[in-house]
Amino acid sequence: MTTRLPPLGYWMGGQGSRYELNTPALVLDLDALERNIHRMAEAMRGFGRKLRPHAKSHKCVRIARAQIEAGAVGICCATLDEAEVMAANGISGILVTSPVTTAMKVSRFIELVGGAPDTMIVVDNADNAGALAAAAERAGVTASVLVDVELGFGRTGVLSVDAAEALARAIAACPSLRFAGVQAYGGHLQHSADHGARLDLCRRAHGFIRDIVARLTSIGMPPEIITGGGTGTHAIDGIEGPFTEIQAGSYVFMDAEYQDITYEDGSDWPFENALFVQTAVTSINVAGTVTTDAGTKSFALNGPKPRIATPGLSGAAYEYSGDEHGRVRLGAGMVQPKLGDRLECVIPHCDPTVVLYDAFHCVRQDALAEIWPVDARGRR
Ligand code: PLP
Ligand code: MN
């Protein structure tokens, strides 16, 4: 006997009720998403900066398109694989924000440039620039390359003004490369919880970037693009940073991790939680708690615990109770949910949670409006 396999992760072809999804499911509130996209675009216009949002957060062509329609100059991709998916779907102005160093990826990046000539990449090493140049020359294309600058996170980038100058000169010496500017992103700056501390760290980083820009300008190589910044520092970077453009990503969704950080003056973030994991109650036998069908396979584990957003249950404490189980401890006076009831959780950390799912279930209030694939899922 054979059985028919239901479509993976989907339900009702994208129409119906928000509360009839195949749980655990990723739920995207389209109204909140649109407000977030609009607010960041407006903020950057106000600061006189361009926006090249980071698509690592969503890996979704529809969201990239919406960001560009709202005024973004292109998108950032964390990986070559992500960039290939975006370019194949007609997204332009892509910046790959991490170096690619294996021969296979170098040649794939150059192939990508052949079809999408405005695609750019960062380097932090002259040999890597040389490898890109050789591949570009063989293919008869010109590749646009930015010098990646390290801001104290210890990840990628050049460590000094002299090293930035040397690398920029090495790029300029390759006829098949175009020196496009500098990238300076500090992951450690984004989640610095206290605004005063964040401001202080940013100012030091800005000083270093300005020294590099001044040096490059003094040797006749003023960077056309100075790109960096994220959601956590977007306002500081927008108001007083050295950047021509900001790379914020998480603002489209927000998450519990960002919720825990103080915005500029202690006021609320201008961005709302737009992304939730919906889970269903599977057991109610233990007083004061319910068990749900979302456990450690359903959330990224490198953030705070998921937070219950369901009205009447906000403040109930979610705990992991195994790979496929969550335990929700109810607060005093909360009515115990029934078997099969849906609870929605604010996600702990957006980017690594998104890649656990095939699709965004896009809702407007209680209605399921559309289903969008996580297009670059499975492409690292
Ligand atoms: N730029 C780079 C290079 C990143 O790695 C990231 C996120 O990790 C971002 C921008 C976006 O930062 P956020 O998601 O905090 O907005
Ligand atoms: Mn992140």
Q: Measured between alpha carbons, how far is 180 from 58 in angstroms, rounded to an integer?
A: 26
Reply yes or no on whether the pLDDT at 209 is more than 80. yes
Does residue 264 form part of some domain? Answer: no
Strands (DSSP E) contained in the chain are: 16-17, 25-29, 50-51, 75-77, 94-96, 120-123, 143-149, 177-184, 225-228, 245-246, 275-283, 289-292, 307-308, 317-320, 326-329, 342-346, 359-364, 367-373
Neighbour-count burial of 155, counting CB atoms closer than 10 A to its CB (0-12 exposed, 13-18 middle, 19+ buried): middle
pLDDT tens-place string over residues 32-47:
999 999 999 999 999 9
Nearest Cα residue to 251 out of 46, 97, 57: 57
Asked, for residue 6, whether it belongs to a domain, the answer is no
Q: Are residues 34 and 23 in the same domain?
A: no
With a cut of 0.95, is the ipTM above it?
yes
In a domain, 356, yes or no: yes
Query: Looking at the CA of 56, which ligand is closest?
Result: 1
Domain boundary, last residue among 189, 223, 257: 257
For residue 349, give the ligand nearest its CA: 2
Residue 12 resides in a domain: no
**Same domain, yes or no: 217 and 319:** no
What's the mean pLDDT in 358-374? 94
For residue 361, name the pLDDT band (cuts at 50, 70, 90).
very high
Tell me, what's the pLDDT at 13?
A: 56
Do 187 and 291 sit in the same domain of this protein? no
Does one domain contain both 234 and 335? no
Same domain, 112 and 203: yes
pLDDT tens-digit map of 258-280 = 988 888 877 889 999 999 999 99
Contacts of 90 (CB under 8 A, 6+ apart): none
Q: Which of 222, 257, 292 is the last residue of a domain?
A: 257
pLDDT number for residue 380: 83
What pLDDT is attached to residue 7? 67
CATH number at residue 368: 2.40.37.20
Ligand 1 pocket, Cβ-based, cut-off 6 angstroms: 54, 56-57, 76, 78, 97, 185, 187, 190, 230-232, 247-251
The conformation of residue 139, written as its DSSP 8-state character, comes to H
170 domain-assigned: yes
Ligand 1 atom closest to the CA of 97, numbered from 1: 3
Candidate of 40, 67, 185, 189 to mutate for ligand 1, largest count of ligand atoms within 8 Å of Cβ: 185
Asked if the structure places residue 379 within a domain, the reply is no
Mark which of 229, 257, 285 sits at the end of a domain.
Answer: 257
Kindly state whether residue 3 falls inside one of the protein's structural domains.
no
CATH of the domain at 202: 3.20.20.10
pLDDT of residue 238: 97
DSSP-derived secondary structure for 165-191? HHHHHHHHT-TTEEEEEEEE--HHHHT
d(CA 97, CA 354): 19
Q: At what angle do helices 195-218 and 161-172 cross, to 10 degrees?
A: 50
Ranking 70-74, 195-199, 304-308 by mean pLDDT, the lowest is 195-199
Q: Are 33 and 252 in contact (CB under 8 A)?
A: yes
DSSP-based three-state secondary structure for 49: coil
Distance CA(202)–CA(31), nearest Å, equals: 32
Please report the pLDDT score of residue 367 as a whole number. Answer: 94
Is 349 inside any structural domain?
yes
**126 and 68 within one domain:** yes
For the segment 134-156, what is each residue's pLDDT rounded down to a tens digit? 999 999 999 999 999 999 999 99
Do 23 and 80 belong together in one domain? no
Same domain, 169 and 215: yes
Same domain, 94 and 235: yes
pLDDT for 34 equals 98
Q: Residue 203, SS3?
A: helix
**One domain, residues 140 and 219:** yes
In whole angstroms, give the CA distance from residue 125 to residue 265: 39
89-98, 153-162, 262-271, 357-366: which range is least confident on average?
262-271
Which atom in ligand 1 lies closest to the alpha carbon of residue 258? 15
Q: What is the mean pLDDT of the chain?
A: 95
Print the domain residue range for 123.
30-257
- Closest by CA position to 316, among listed 349, 289, 340, 342: 289
CA distance 248 to 262: 17
pLDDT of residue 194: 83
Q: Which of 82, 111, 57 is nearest to 232 (CA)?
A: 57
**Torsion angle of alpha carbons 132, 137, 141, 142, nearest 10°?**
60
Looking at the DSSP bridge assignments, the partners of residue 51 are 246
Q: Please give the number of the atom of ligand 1 that sits closest to the Cα of 183.
A: 3
Assess whether 212 and 361 both reside in one domain.
no
Q: Residue 234 contacts by C-beta under 8 Å, 6 or more apart in sequence?
A: 40, 43, 44, 246, 248, 251
Residues 260, 304: contact at Cβ < 8 Å? yes
Residue 18 and residue 4: Cα distance in Å, rounded? 24
> Count of H helices and E strands in the chain?
11, 18
User: How many structural domains compose the chain?
Assistant: 2
How many Å apart are CA 296 and CA 275, to the nearest integer?
Answer: 17
Contact between residue 109 and residue 80 where contact means Cβ atoms under 8 Å apart? yes
Q: Given the CA of residue 185, which atom of ligand 1 is nearest to it? A: 3
Ligand 2 mean position, distance from CA 232 (Å): 11
Spatial separation of the C-alpha atoms in residues 228 and 97, rounded to whole Å: 9
Considering the domain architecture, whether residues 228 and 115 belong to the same structural domain is answered as yes
